[in-house]
Structure 1
Amino acid sequence: MSKSFERYQKRKLISSYFSVVLSIGLVLFLLGILGMLVLNTKKLADHFKEQITISVFLKDSAKQVEIDQLQKSLAMSDYTKSATFVSKEEAAEQHSEEIGENFLDFLGYNPLKNSVDVKLNADFVSTEQIEVIAEEIAARSFVEEVSYDRPLIALLTENVKKISFWILVASAVFTFIAVLLINSSIRLSIYSKRFIIKTMQMVGATKKFIRKPFIWTNIKLGMIGAFVALLALGLVMYYIDLNFPELQLFQDVLILSVLFVSVFVLGVLISLISTYFATQRFLNLRTDDLYY
């Protein structure tokens, strides 16, 4: 009978520990995902900004030497990420693929122009800066036209600011929720041992002596939960990097280290503080209040 009761108590204890570890792991995993977004917001914004293309259309009278000089000068400019020459023949092929038929058969000639497609570095992607760059390029005598999507650039700049702001707000809210959830899990775990706490106190154990094993146990559970969260976070980041290598998530080791250490420390810190206050609450309760 006593062995059966001991097995029951052991299963109950393991179940309690498992629920605490799972709660901490899930909450820290979500916080880690959010932290990854916060730390990589600029990188994500830069990625989308660098997809913006300025098309420099050239006159038919433009000489090859002038075209080569333009491409080289653009490629060497601070604001340029890449400068690619696109001949009118290549442009016609691309256009035919997009519309699904060869428009040259209908027209009988190629109306398109030779061009240089310029992709800018993210720091230069704003309406004002691109206007200055476009005017500078258009000043060349052999340039027919400089074309870019003005409304898209304005919309992108505005949305990046909004998204950055709301990600920070969401981070603050989720951090608060994470603290509450982990605190609730630990308090429930300690609530089941409230009679043990009071019994130890009644036989003369000091508050520090009673708190110590609970704090150490939950710190270990917090560490395990943080490890589970970091493992899941690493797998998600690996999957994202595999499918979107241009984001280069593993390139900045310092940012990754800060993120992983922060998640681990947060798990341990919340566990420690929650356990301290939870045990303190039951230590301060009268015996009659333990039944409510």
Structure 2
Amino acid sequence: MRAGLVLAEAANGLRRNASMVVSVVLVTFISLTFVGTAALMQLQIGQMKGYWYDRAQVAVYLCTDVSTAAGCTDGEATKEQKAAVEAQLASDTLKPYIDEFTFEDHEQAYANFQEQFEGTPAADYVTPEVLNETFWVNLVDPSESDVIAEALAGLAGVEQVVDQRRYLDQIFDVLNAASFTAIAIAAIMLVAAALLIATTIRLSAFSRRRELGIMRLVGASNRFIQTPFVLEGVFAGLIGSLLAGAAVVAIVQFFVQGYLAQTLSFTFVDLGEAWLVVPLLILVGVLLAAVSAGIAIRRYLRV
């Protein structure tokens, strides 16, 4: 099989069906951009989980005069009750699980509240006495927060024990839902791209049906006949995937690193992760095009 002749046939097919090829390139580009974005979102979520979970604390909220919890019927936690909680945190039982813990009294809680809600109506109405005094606990392993909760939840003067990770889980659930939505949209668009590639190849074959008939008469092999059409699809898929890769790199370079990283004090995905995604996009685009085109031309030639 002469490579030059096969490539020439593929080039002719691309010229004859330029508008359809452009459509395939655009659909492949958009769908693979969604795939790349979803992959980067998963990498970002993984980074965020590692960052925030390591910093998540367990908050041991003590009773106030306005607490309605079952363990707060006697009103605000007494000095003895606070000392008992502190002793439990420093005990040999919990010491292996705790990295460090700090105590926040009413005044410290009020100062933090005022700083957080400055300029809002809540800052004018809240008084120090209604805010919980709190033991903030940093764990050696944040996943073992249940040990702290079980040890302290039943102590007198403790209103509740809260693992901050449960709030993070809600945020990550939303982010994962957004990522999975992008993947679902990308999957639908990849199916559309596959169907469009198949249609383009069938139209290309139909426009050259007389040439294909002559090739069959002179004994050309199916592989020789099919290869130019497969190359047409692969070319369109390759261009679309390269554009998608460029878009993903541009998003990270100019939006994530150029804007978000400069605005927010946080670690975001960088160009290293973006370049890791690019080969995946190229592989998906080329394989999708090759398989779709191969199936389409084989079915056409059987008719």
Taking structure 1 as the reference length, what is the TM-score of the superposition? 0.62
One-letter identity of the residue aligned with 1:216: L
Residues 90 and 213 (structure 1), Cα distance of their counterparts in 2 relative to 1, 3 Å cut: same
3-state DSSP class of the match of 2:124? coil
**Aligned-residue identity in percent:** 20
Partner of 1:100 in structure 2? 123
- Give the deviation of 1:267 after TM superposition: 0.5
Which of 20, 27, 42 aligns to 2:24? It is 20
- Give the deviation of 1:10 after TM superposition: 9.2
Partner of 2:194 in structure 1? 183
Residues 26 and 87 (structure 1), Cα distance of their counterparts in 2 relative to 1, 3 Å cut: same
One-letter identity of the residue aligned with 2:227: K
Aligned partners of 2:180, 2:248: CA distance in 1, in Å? 19
Partner of 1:195 in structure 2? 206
Aligned partners of 1:145, 1:137: CA distance in 2, in Å? 7
- Give the deviation of 1:25 after TM superposition: 0.4
Taking structure 2 as the reference length, what is the TM-score of the superposition? 0.60
Partner of 2:47 in structure 1? 43
Partner of 2:248 in structure 1? 233
| Structure 2 unaligned spans of 5+ | 1-12, 63-77
Alignment of 1:104-253 (within 5 A): 117-118=136-137, 124-125=142-143, 129-133=144-148, 148-149=161-162, 153=165, 171=183, 176-204=187-215, 205-238=220-253, 239-241=255-257, 242-243=259-260, 246-250=266-270, 253=272
Aligned partners of 1:103, 1:40: CA distance in 2, in Å? 37
| Structure 1 unaligned spans of 5+ | 1-8, 139-143, 286-292
3-state DSSP class of the match of 2:231? helix
CA offset digits 1:215-262 (Å, max 9, x no partner): 2232222121111112222333442454255353228x4x65543221
Partner of 1:263 in structure 2? 281
* Preserved contact between residue 238 and residue 286 of structure 2 (Cα < 8 Å): yes
CA offset digits 1:129-164 (Å, max 9, x no partner): 2242357799xxxxx8696435x7557658868986
- Give the deviation of 1:113 after TM superposition: 8.3
Residues 218 and 169 (structure 1), Cα distance of their counterparts in 2 relative to 1, 3 Å cut: same
CA offset digits 1:260-281 (Å, max 9, x no partner): 2211100011111111112222
3-state DSSP class of the match of 1:249? coil
